[in-house]
Amino acid sequence: MKSIMDIRKEYEQSEFLKFSPLERMKIMHQLLVEIIATAAKSEGVTEYEIYKRYLKNNPRHYQKVSG
């Protein structure tokens, strides 16, 4: 028997996948912005500092392309 949390997670996933890929990208970007803003406010630093720390800790997502 599934737990209430598992049922809710499956429901949220199915609802999220109903959005178009562009809508999903917008939602995830907005979520990232909200998380960064919350972290910045709680730590008393700028959002830019939090974002730079995020990029530093996750370099594989934002590797520079040599041209």
Give the amino acid at 28: M
Rounded to 5°, the CA angle 10-15-11 comes to 25
pTM, two decimals, is 0.67
- Say how far residue 18 (Cα) sits from the centre of its chain: 18
What pLDDT does 62 receive? 62
For the chain, residues with pLDDT lower than 50 are 67
Q: Break the chain into its structural domains and give their ranges.
A: 20-61
Give the amino acid at 58: N
